[in-house]
Amino acid sequence: MVIEILPATEADCPRLVQIDKTAFEAASDSAFEHVLFPPSGTDDASAAKEAIFARTMREDPSARFIKAVDTELSGDAAVVGWAKWHVWDGERGMPPAPAEREWSGAGFNAEACREYFSGVDRVKNKVMAGRRCLYLQPVATDPAHQRRGVGRQLIEWGLDEAARVGFPAYLVASPDGYPLYVKCGFVDVEEVRMDFTRFGVPRVCTSRLMVRESP
């Protein structure tokens, strides 16, 4: 299997959403994902996410959508993973996250998303706001192609860019992704803890803001 990392385009959005969905459903911590983004049983949630991806590609100059392409495959199936990196290289660095996000439409548990992502935004604002940096969120690999180094190559694309410009790279790690990020040289900065008991999952999810400083 030969993998090439290439820019993703709006035409790739349906495949990116499909990979995103199947990858997180296969994760061992998918119960948290299902609380935040409950399966709707319709195509509405996928269509909404495709529209968000396409709009971000068009309107957010910091966003870099990349895809992992297996050169031995063809068509949509050749895209076996993807990631989105933000590159904040202007003098003002990363803009502060909004005080409150809007969570509406198909595919979102508004109450759970508001609670979880407000915690994520707090630590990002505390550590990253105003810093020139890169930020990875998310990275996803088709479960049929996992454990073949696809995710690592998508991460290393951003780390190479961070080294080139001399900026730190950040991410928020889920429990499932944490071991890979440690192997890639990221270290813990802050924790985000949320008790999902009142949403039907009697466990605490611990996500970690991590950084890899530029060499």
The CB density around residue 25, as the number of other CB atoms within 10 Å, is 12
How much is the pTM? 0.93
Q: Is residue 149 part of a domain?
A: yes
pLDDT at 47 over 60: yes
Q: Assign 106 a pLDDT band (cuts: 50, 70, 90).
A: low
Q: Is residue 202 part of a domain?
A: no
Does residue 42 sit in helix, strand or coil?
coil
**CATH number of the domain that 115 lies in?**
3.40.630.30
Average pLDDT in the chain: 92
pLDDT of residue 191: 96
pLDDT at 41 over 90: no
Q: Is residue 113 part of a domain?
A: yes
Give mean pLDDT, residues 109-138.
94
Q: Is residue 205 part of a domain?
A: no
Q: Is residue 23 part of a domain?
A: yes
Q: Is residue 38 part of a domain?
A: yes
Give mean pLDDT, residues 86-93.
95
pLDDT of residue 24: 82
Percent of the chain with pLDDT over 90: 73
Q: Which domain holds residue 85?
A: 3-165
Query: What pLDDT digit, counting tens, does each position of 130-147 carry?
Result: 999 999 999 999 999 998
Q: Cα 31–135–171 angle (5° rounding)?
A: 40
| Residue-wise DSSP of 112-142 | HHHHHHHHHHHHHHHHTBT--EEEEEEEEE-
Q: Is residue 215 part of a domain?
A: no
Q: Report the distance separating Cα 62 and Cα 85, nearest Å.
A: 8
Least confident range from 28-32, 72-76, 184-188: namely 28-32
Q: Is residue 208 part of a domain?
A: no
What is the residue whose two structure tokens read 């190479």?
160
The total domain count for the chain is 1
Q: Assign 214 a pLDDT band (cuts: 50, 70, 90).
A: confident
